[in-house]
């Protein structure tokens, strides 16, 4: 039974600026992502959707409480199914994303559903972006100007952040998380740190992370602190000749034990090790093998309450 069905941690719709809302699915762990709703009287844009049919339909109902106009546009911040599976619940909407997100959405298909077969995914079909861009794209929803920016392969190769300069609101996708352990094995520690620095220079007043509670620029700082710790830990491990698994065994979550999904340390270390040894940002790793090793190290399949 999903959290939504059991009534635990119901999603919250938070207005964060004029015409701008965050749709927050607490507490933000595996597959409990956040979405955004930018709405005026005539047009609605979503930033991401949700992992399951039921959760996407709940998002649709939430958007309808703001305006009866159905979503015209969806921005997919990256290809992972928790952010994109719900696209199919909005067949009238145009899906926009980075060109790599289109490719990776199609390639990944419904693979995520196989990792947690007990989740009630519902009747979902893969809906990749039909409009793509490389570096930057401006989208207008009524009076709200949205800057879609690709800052490099931080969380995934095709990450897009959505910056609303006139509202000082930033949707980070999974480049930043709030109270949730970052996840970078498909992207880059170095590129993530660079992306965080760029986003900080925009001086956002409100930050809507990919997972976890809405906040301010302190969310960027907290993500940075974890990644700097991760990079330092990996450097020590490489110097001492330890494998990522051995280092994860001895180090544990360190000063970040309060973060949800601390088991992500092991695959995160694998990415940090690869970069310490010269791998380029986004250079492919065997994610399937890393996930299996993480499950073995954790002692069980990580909890997914989608």
Of the candidates 244, 265, 243, the one whose C-alpha atom is nearest the C-alpha of residue 253 is: 265
Of the candidates 189, 186, 195, 131, the one whose C-alpha atom is nearest the C-alpha of residue 163 is: 195
Instruction: State residue 42's pLDDT score.
Output: 87
pTM (two decimals)? 0.96
- Kind of pairing between the strands at 136-141 and 131-133: unpaired
Phi, psi of 137 (to 5 degrees): -145, 135
Tokens (6 digits) for 26: 């607490």
Instruction: State residue 41's pLDDT score.
Output: 79
**Per-residue H/E/C for 114-166:** HHCCCCCCCCCCCCCCCEEECCEEEEEECCEEEEEECCCCCCCCCCCEEEECC
As a whole number of angstroms, the distance between CA 25 and CA 42 comes to: 26
Instruction: State residue 2's pLDDT score.
Output: 37
Instruction: State residue 228's pLDDT score.
Output: 98
Instruction: State residue 9's pLDDT score.
Output: 83
Of the candidates 78, 98, 109, the one whose C-alpha atom is nearest the C-alpha of residue 175 is: 78
What distance separates the 2 farthest-apart alpha carbons in the chain?
60
Helix, strand, or coil (residue 243): coil
Of the candidates 176, 262, 251, 267, the one whose C-alpha atom is nearest the C-alpha of residue 213 is: 176
Residue 300 makes CB contacts below 8 A (sequence gap 6+) with none
As a whole number of angstroms, the distance between CA 255 and CA 4 comes to: 31
Phi, psi of 49 (to 5 degrees): -125, -115
As a whole number of angstroms, the distance between CA 113 and CA 208 comes to: 26
Q: Which residue positions in the chain have pLDDT lower than 50? A: 1-7
As a whole number of angstroms, the distance between CA 183 and CA 296 comes to: 18
Span between the terminal Cα atoms of the chain, in Å: 9
């Amino acid at each position: 039974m999903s959290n939504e069905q059991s009534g635990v941690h119901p999603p919250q719709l938070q207005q964060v600026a004029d015409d701008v809302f965050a749709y927050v699915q607490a507490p933000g762990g595996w597959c409990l992502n956040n979405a955004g709703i930018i709405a005026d009287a005539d047009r609605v844009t979503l930033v991401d959707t949700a992992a399951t049919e039921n959760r996407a339909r709940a998002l649709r109902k939430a958007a309808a409480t703001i305006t009866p106009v159905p979503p015209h546009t969806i921005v997919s911040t990256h290809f992972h199914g928790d952010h994109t599976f719900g696209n199919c619940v909005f067949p009238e909407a145009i899906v926009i994303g980075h060109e790599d997100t289109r490719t990776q959405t199609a390639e990944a298909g419904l693979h995520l559903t196989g990792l947690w077969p007990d989740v009630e995914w519902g009747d979902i079909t893969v809906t990749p972006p039909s409009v793509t861009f490389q570096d930057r794209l401006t989208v207008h929803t009524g009076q709200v100007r949205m800057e879609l920016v690709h800052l490099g392969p931080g969380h995934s190769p095709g990450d897009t952040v959505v910056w609303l300069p006139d509202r000082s609101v930033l949707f980070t996708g999974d480049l930043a998380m709030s109270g949730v352990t970052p996840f970078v094995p498909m992207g880059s520690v170095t590129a993530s740190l660079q992306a965080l620095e760029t986003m900080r220079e925009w001086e956002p007043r409100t930050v809507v992370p990919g997972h976890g509670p809405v906040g301010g620029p302190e969310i960027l700082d907290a993500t940075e602190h974890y990644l700097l710790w991760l990079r330092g830990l990996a450097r020590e491990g490489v110097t001492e000749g330890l494998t990522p698994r051995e280092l994860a065994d001895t180090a544990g979550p360190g000063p970040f034990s309060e973060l949800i999904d601390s088991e992500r340390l092991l695959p995160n270390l694998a990415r940090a090790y690869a970069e310490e040894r010269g791998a380029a940002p986004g250079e492919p790793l065997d994610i399937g093998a890393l996930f299996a090793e993480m499950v073995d190290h954790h002692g069980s399949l990580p909890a997914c309450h989608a």
